[in-house]
Homo-oligomer: A and B are copies of this chain.
Amino acid sequence: MNIQQSIHNWMTEHRQSAVRLLKRFVEEASVQGSEKHAQAIVIERLRQLQLDIDIWEPDEKILRSHEAFASNRSTFRDSPNVVGVLKGKGGGKSIILNGHIDVVPPGDLSQWTEDPYTAVVKDGNLYGRGATDMKGGNVSLLLAIQALKELDISLKGDVIFQSVVEEESGGAGTLSCVLRGYKADGAIIPEPTNMKIFPKQQGSMWFRVTVHGVAAHGGTRYEGVSAIEKAAVVLKHIEGLEKERNSRITDPLYNKIPIPVPINIGNIQGGTWPSSVADQVILEGRIGVAPHEKMKNVRAEMKAWLELLPQCDEWFAEHPVDLEWFGAHWLPGEIELEHPLMTSLSSSFYQVKQKQPIIEASPWGTDGGILSQVGDIPTVVFGPGVTEVAHFPNEYICIQTMLDAAEIIALTVADWCSIAD
C-alpha cells in the first residue's frame, strides 16, 4: 500500500473524530478577545500529538514597533498564540502550517437557520461560525500531522503548526509568530479557497477620507456647501483611481477577475440634521494592494490622486479632503508559480483528486502576506472551506472536503519535508 493510500484510509477511519474536533472548535465563539477556549482545545490536541508546545500572549509593545502591525486592540492579554513543533530528523526542508483561530462575529442572528455556535451536521456539512473560515482548515492541518505521526511516517524537516489569533483584524497573531523567530522554508495556510491554490493574494488597507463643506440652514442651502454633494465628487474620483490601478495589472492569473484590486467605499457618514447642510462627510474604505506592491507606494499614490481633486471641482483647492490610514491592513503576498512548494502541493492535489488544481489569485488578504513579506517565507494559501460563506450567515464546510484537504496537505508535508529512512 503506498503512502497516499495509507493516509487516505487513515482519514476515512478518522472521519468521526475529525467531525467531533471541528464541532468542539465551532462551539467556542472565538471572536476577537475570546480565543482562549478554542486555543485550549488546540493545546490539548498538540499535547496528545506530543509536539513541542509554545504558548504566549503577543506582546503589544513589540508588535506596535513593527510597521506591519495593525490592530484595534491595546492588549493581547488572554489571547494566546499556540505553536506546536514536530521536530524532523534533520536534513529536510521545514514547513509552517498556519491557521487562525479567531472568527468574525455572527452578525444578524435572525439570518442564521441554526445557532452559529451549535455546530449542526446536516447532509455531510457542518454549520457554524468559523466552520469554513477557518476552523475546518485548522482541523485539516491537525489531521495531517496526526496521520503522519500515527502512520509512523517520520520526516527530515520540521513541521511547525501555528494556531494564531487576530487574523480577522490585521494579522497581529502571525506577526507575533514571525517576530518570535518562527521561520521555515515554506508555509501553507488553509484559508477557505474552495480547494483552489492561491499563489498570489491581494493585500488591502483601510482608509478614511474626510470631505469638508460649510453648514447652513437647509431652507437657504445655497448659503452653505454640502459635504454630501462634494462627497459624490470624491467617490467618482476614487473610482478613477481604481480604474487606473487595475489597468496596470496584466498578470494572466487575474484574467477572470473583473477588478483585481478593488477600492471599496464601505462606510459613508455625514451630516447631523435633516434640515441642515452637512459640513462634513466621512468615507471609510479599503484599497486593494496587488501582490507585488509595497504598501507605502499605494499610500503615496492615493494621496497624490486625491490631490488632483481640484481638477474635478475647484472647491477642493481651498478645502482639500483629509486622508488617514486607520484600522486594519493586510499585506499582499506572492510565491512564484514554479516554486517547489507549488509543485509539491499541485502534485499531491493531483494524486488525491485525480485532476489538476485550479490556480488563482486571491481576492483577499490572509496572514500569508505577513509570512511572505515580513517573514520571507514562501507561502501558499489552499484550503477546504467554502469561500462564498466566509463571514456570512449559515457558514458551513463540507466534511469530506476537509478530509481531502487533510490528505493533500499530509502528502505535501511528507514530500516537502522528506520522509526519513
Q: Is the CB of A219 within 8 A of B288?
A: yes
Q: Which residue of B lies closest to A391 (CB)?
A: B217
B284 A268 Cβ-Cβ under 8 A: no
Interface flags for A198-222 (1: CB within 8 Å of B; 0: not) read 0000101011000000000111111
Q: Ordered nearest first, which 3 A-B pairs have the shortest CB separation?
A: A218-B264, A275-B286, A267-B271
A363 and B219 form a contact (CB under 8 A) = yes
With A267-B271, A271-B268, A277-B264 given, is the CB distance from A219 to B364 under 8 Å?
yes
A220-B274 contact in complex given A228-B268, A268-B228, C-beta closer than 8 Å: no
Please measure, in the bound complex, the distance between the C-alpha atom of A276 and the C-alpha atom of B262, giving whole angstroms. 11
Work out how many copies of this chain go into the complex: 2
Q: How far is the CA of A80 from the CA of B217 in the complex (A)?
A: 28
The answer to whether B268 touches A206 (Cβ under 8 A) is: no
A222: chain B residues within 8 A (beta carbon): 258-259, 262
Q: How far in angstroms is the closest Cβ of chain B from A22?
A: 23
Interface check A92, CB cutoff 8 A: no
In A211-249, which residues have CB < 8 Å from any B CB? 217-222, 226, 228-229, 231-232, 235-236
A-B residue pairs in contact (CB < 8 Å), sample of 25: A204-B219, A206-B274, A207-B274, A217-B363, A218-B266, A218-B285, A218-B286, A219-B364, A220-B363, A221-B259, A222-B258, A226-B265, A228-B265, A229-B235, A231-B268, A232-B235, A264-B276, A266-B277, A266-B278, A267-B271, A267-B272, A267-B274, A268-B268, A274-B327, A275-B285
Report Cα–Cα, A221/B258, bound state, in Å. Answer: 10
Contact, CB under 8 Å: B275 / A266: yes
Bound Cα distance A229, B262 (Å): 14
Q: Give the Cβ gap from A246 to chain B, nearest Cβ, in Å.
A: 11
A255 within 8 A of B: no
Partner of A274, one of B231, B286, B364: B286
Task: Assess the A266–B262 pair: CB atoms within 8 A.
Answer: no
Contact: A275 with B204, CB < 8 Å? yes
